[in-house]
Structure 1
Amino acid sequence: MTLRYKKGNELLTKTFTTYRTHHGPVVSAYDNQWITLKTIDANIDLLAMHWKKMKATNLKEFKAALNTRVMVGSNIIYADRAGNIAYWHGNFVPKKDPAQDWKHAVEGSTPTTEWQGTYALDDLPQYINPGNGWVQNCNSTILYGTGAYDSTMRATKPLYMLPDGQTPRASSAIRVLEKLENATVDDVISAAHDHYLSGAARHIPNLLAAYQKLPSPPTQLASPIQTLSSWNYESDTASVATTLAVLWIEKLIPLNLARLQKPYVNEDRYSITNGATIATDFIPAEKQVELLAQVIAELEKEHGTWQVPWGTLNRFQRNADGVAFSDSKPSWAVPATPGFMGSLNAYVSRKVPDAKRRYGITGNTFVAVVEFGKELKGKSILTGGSSTDPASPHFTDQVPGYINGKYKDIIFYKKDVLNGAEKTYHPGE
């Protein structure tokens, strides 16, 4: 393959040798073996499918668009004003030998690993108008898509259709959705900002038990352990326990990643980083307690105390492109935590150079809650604001709403746009 590129005003070329098989291009090598990537190259067909989905006016038309079955790696949740809801787990799913481990590389030189056609849309894992009245997906398995574990689906679908684990966020979603009845848009927004951390409730008791198992528990950890023991697993900007829990569980992730079978795939890694398969049972009690001691030592080194409230550490700061985070610039305390903790309002902050605080880098960015009816109603929120100009009042005007779950109305109809306009103009003015 020869590529052209410019260097100054000179047009140059560079030639690369690439390799591929009928399974697809060679993308990497491991243990003296080449690995190829096989997928569908839908291209224009995929674009057409998305166009038809957007133009669909009812469930039948939407399903007809999906039935093109050219979309890879996406799950679809649907709702309409007629009261229909639906959830399809996947779209383009090839038929494969169920005896193979399709989560990892398989031998490419045998007929047993050839695809054997494609599943029909109706054969995919899905729910259409389930009896419980809602569906949920938080980058998680469909087996809990309506709350209760679906043993029938698990028994009747091949495992490669169900590769995902149950994330702490999904557990939190089920917890709040099961309580909702006759919910308004504001009820749903409030539920989405629930502060209970199911990931912490899953793992912190293991740490507490590990501490009690030690013949001589470190006395310097007695107070941090007591802080965690009395915690209700609610995230809060004033909560020291939230700080300890997030930093401790972050230290579990590399230990879990180190156990993955090589070469591992993104699915394996992601199921750990999103919290679905984080485990502590393989970590000796001494090591679990040692990780907490590391957290305490790092906090004391950076802040002079281990009693650092989560809001002091976990901050939102919006800067112009290319401008670095800094403790000397304005920022806001955020109660939300990473998704692996179970926070529905996922917010991932990281330590940055020359700063003691952590600043948000990924998580929920644009969030919307929509009610379908004769007219659309809904509310939404952005991280920061809609303007990219730091001098604009709309650069950070949505920060309080983003943090506290106070969303703005979605302005969808022309009359509402005109009513809320700050300025109007005609082309040429």
Structure 2
Amino acid sequence: RSEHGPVIEGPTGTYAIRYAGMGEIRQLEQYYRLNKATGLDDFLSAMSINALPSINYIFADRAGDVGFIHNAQYPARNDAWDWSGDMPGDRSDLIWQGYRPWAEVPKLINPVSGFVFNNNNAPFSATDGPDNLKPEDFPQSMGLQTNQTNRSLRVMELTDGTGPMDRDRLLSIKFDTAYAAGSEAREVVTDVLAHDWSDEPDMAEAAKFLAEWNFDMDEHSRHAALGGLTTLRQITARFTHEPPPSPEQAFRDAVSWLTLHHGRIDPEWGEVNKLAHGDMTWPISGGPDTLRAVYPAKIRDDGELHMNAGDTWIALVEWAPDGSQTAEVINNYGSAVRDAASPHYADQAPLFAAEKWRKAHLDWDGIEQSAERRYRPGRD
């Protein structure tokens, strides 16, 4: 261990690590305060504890307040240095002490449009109105991300800062299955179509079919399988840490895989893309980095892709004009995901795949009335 923190010896050298949250023990207190918050002031007070090293927050309450916080413990680093790479390990002046104050944490509270969002993207795109945060207002030493995801690009395509955001419109955005202009998927397809396939008639025909794709990953689409398999590894490379094939090779692989397992390049996407649990599967819309986020574990050798990341537990919370609250929720499988004998092993999966909900009981009477049995976990 060094003055910086832990020391790691690796194949390219020996590194001292100093990271946000090192020695922090107040996380539970902050989570407790957040769960006890009853309005915006309570929520911001809890957030000001600033004990959570890195997690974004979206907020809404019955009073109509909304907010986005690009939350982190931001080290109080020397702004004159570029902290994006390796730093000299023998300079005590580069051992940062403490964090920037809560007031400097990027946040956007009650923007004029009344709409906030975050999709693992840069904090400078968090609303559809005119008052997004500006990069020039934050020093580069904070290390704020600058990337946009397809999901953030797509939200910006689907909103304009003027139209009302009712339930139906919100859900159409949440379950949107398209790739936006400027997305990685579109870049890969552009490269594929720029290739000269004239010496390969079958590939030329497949490229012509790919050119008809509208970049939508709906389960009934007959273009999504070819498009999705062609673009999949480029989109997921940042998570798998596996170098993606060239667009040309990815396209060849997609044509070959679909032909081998389905006998055609145009099966419905739902024949390929599945929510799976145990020995059960359900067709599902969506793909990697679509707003209906569905990431497969791998390209399988049985003609299917099985979801293992993306959307999980989702909640739709509403307040009526009188302040009363209702909520609907859903998760991928059920509440007993490790007990295949339980009726709740996968009872929510069909609803999840169909983009439907179950009611959340928000008071004790509702919980008692809907309870199947009373028991003490681990004892009864």
TM-score, normalized by the shorter chain, greater than 0.5? yes
Q: Which amino acid aligns with 2:223?
A: A
Q: Which residue in 2 is equivalent to 1:344? A: 291
Q: Which residue in 2 is equivalent to 1:48? A: 29
For residue 215 of structure 2, the aligned residue among 217, 221, 233 is: 233
Q: Which residue in 2 is equivalent to 1:261? A: none
Shift of 1:141: 0.9
Q: Which residue in 1 is equivalent to 2:13? A: 32
Q: Which amino acid aligns with 1:191?
A: I
User: For 1:203 and 1:184, how far apart are their aligned partners in 2?
Assistant: 29
SS in structure 2 opposite 1:317? strand
Shift of 1:22: 1.6
1:168 paired to 2:118: no
Q: Which residue in 2 is equivalent to 1:292? A: 251
Q: Which residue in 2 is equivalent to 1:157? A: 138
1:190 paired to 2:172: yes
Q: Which residue in 1 is equivalent to 2:343? A: 393
CA deviations on 1:294-341 (whole Å, 9 max, x unpaired) are 22123223333333332111112212xxxxxxxxx43111112112xx
User: For 1:251 and 1:421, how far apart are their aligned partners in 2?
Assistant: 44
SS in structure 2 opposite 1:378? strand
SS in structure 1 opposite 2:328? strand
State how 1:16-95 maps to structure 2 within 5 Å: 20-95=1-76
User: For 1:419 and 1:179, how far apart are their aligned partners in 2?
Assistant: 42
Q: Which amino acid aligns with 2:358?
A: K
Deviates more, 1:23-32 or 1:48-57: 23-32
Change (3 A) 1:233 1:211: closer
1:311 paired to 2:270: yes
SS in structure 2 opposite 1:188? helix
Q: Which amino acid aligns with 1:224?
A: A
For residue 147 of structure 1, the aligned residue among 128, 138, 142 is: 128
Shift of 1:177: 4.4
Shift of 1:187: 4.3
1:366 paired to 2:347: no
TM-score scaled by length of structure 1? 0.76
Is residue 88–residue 124 contact of structure 1 (8 Å, CA) maintained in 2?
A: yes
Q: Which residue in 1 is equivalent to 2:365? A: 415
By relative contact order (CA 8 Å, sep 6+), the higher-ranking structure is: 1
Deviates more, 1:147-156 or 1:379-388: 147-156
Q: Which residue in 1 is equivalent to 2:325? A: 376
Shift of 1:292: 1.1
Shift of 1:39: 2.9
Q: Which amino acid aligns with 2:178?
A: Y
User: For 2:197 and 2:374, how far apart are their aligned partners in 1?
Assistant: 73
For residue 96 of structure 1, the aligned residue among 77, 87, 92 is: 77
SS in structure 2 opposite 1:233? coil
1:135 paired to 2:155: no
Shift of 1:136: 0.6
Q: Which residue in 2 is equivalent to 1:243? A: 225
TM-score scaled by length of structure 2? 0.85
Q: Which amino acid aligns with 1:380?
A: V
SS in structure 2 opposite 1:94? coil
Q: Which residue in 2 is equivalent to 1:110? A: 91
Is residue 351–residue 357 contact of structure 1 (8 Å, CA) maintained in 2?
A: no
Identical-pair percentage: 24
User: For 1:353 and 1:205, how far apart are their aligned partners in 2?
Assistant: 25
User: For 2:371 and 2:132, how far apart are their aligned partners in 1?
Assistant: 52
Shift of 1:92: 1.4
Q: Which amino acid aligns with 1:300?
A: T
Unaligned runs of 5+ in 1: 1-19, 258-268, 320-328
Shift of 1:129: 0.6
Shift of 1:144: 0.6
Aligned length: 374
User: For 2:59 and 2:328, how far apart are their aligned partners in 1?
Assistant: 18
Change (3 A) 1:203 1:187: closer
SS in structure 2 opposite 1:34? strand
SS in structure 1 opposite 2:45? helix
User: For 1:155 and 1:426, how far apart are their aligned partners in 2?
Assistant: 54
Q: What's the Cα RMSD here?
A: 3.3
Is residue 2–residue 16 contact of structure 2 (8 Å, CA) maintained in 1?
A: no
CA deviations on 1:242-273 (whole Å, 9 max, x unpaired) are 1122221234358xx6xxxxxxxxxxx45x98
Unaligned runs of 5+ in 2: none
CA deviations on 1:35-57 (whole Å, 9 max, x unpaired) are 42433335432211211121122
CA deviations on 1:389-428 (whole Å, 9 max, x unpaired) are 3334333322222112111121111222234334568999
User: For 1:22 and 1:89, how far apart are their aligned partners in 2?
Assistant: 29
Change (3 A) 1:303 1:179: farther
State how 1:254-333 maps to structure 2 within 5 Å: 269=238, 287-319=246-278, 329-333=279-283
